[in-house]
Amino acid sequence: MAVILNIETTTTNCSVSLSKQGETLVLKELNDKNYSHAESLHVFIDDVLNSASVSLSQIDAVAVSKGPGSYTGLRIGVSAAKGLCFSLEKPLISVSTLKALAHQVKATDGVIVPMLDARRMEVYSAVFDSSYNEIRAIEAQILDENSFKDYLAKGKVYFVGNGVEKAQTIIQHENAVFIEDRLPSANEMSMLAYDKYKKNDIEDVAYFEPYYLKDFIALKPKS
């Protein structure tokens, strides 16, 4: 019986779940635009464990959403996951943020495009078929009126994530389906983490780094 603690902090949604055999037992999350992840994450971890009457020593692995996403959010989530794995001597599993986000869409045709907001008109995106197989790798791309035109010409394209608001202002096509108000969640990580656990697809705790996709750029604070 694999019990896995799942941590998702790549966006404003601080999300933690506890899963058993790929099924979510408890989920605790908060979409806080002020990024209070540093204060909330360990509280949420305690909450889900207590709700399920499970101790840290009883978990079999820790899974973390590996990115892309917020630089600060990724650092907080990965640091917490690595710390737990090191201290508990548990395996670390990384889950693709965009693949987990794609699983929030249930489609029988067309393709799914999970997209996360980046700076200006840029998004982090990938393309999956309706069976969640990746058919276009993750990219940082600037949206324009021609974005995803080849997929749109062939059938439905389901856009999901906090990059949807940008996409709606630019992409005008009858096959475009925009699914609003969705953020990556530890809920969808449960099954994906369990699949990797069964394959012993784990990370080196000492050397694992988040998938930033782009270099971090520090901005000067406004006066």
Q: Which residue has the tokens 């609003």?
A: 180
Q: Which residue has the tokens 């640091």?
A: 79
Residue pair 127/113 in contact (Cβ under 8 Å)? The answer is yes
Alpha carbon distance 47, 88 (integer Å) = 18
Position 215 scores a pLDDT of 54
pTM: 0.93
Amino acid at 142: I
Helix axes 71-88, 37-51, angle to 10 degrees: 40
| Helix (H) or strand (E) run with residue 188 in it | helix 186-198
Alpha carbon distance 88, 60 (integer Å) = 10
Residue-by-residue pLDDT tens, the chain, 223 positions: 899 999 999 999 999 999 999 999 999 999 988 888 999 999 999 999 999 999 999 999 999 999 999 999 999 999 999 999 999 999 999 999 999 999 999 999 999 999 999 988 999 999 999 999 999 999 999 999 999 999 999 999 999 999 999 999 999 999 999 999 999 999 999 999 999 999 999 999 999 999 998 654 444 444 4
Residue pair 124/147 in contact (Cβ under 8 Å)? The answer is no
Position 44 scores a pLDDT of 98
Alpha carbon distance 13, 35 (integer Å) = 8
- Of 23, 120, 18, nearest to 63 by C-alpha is 18
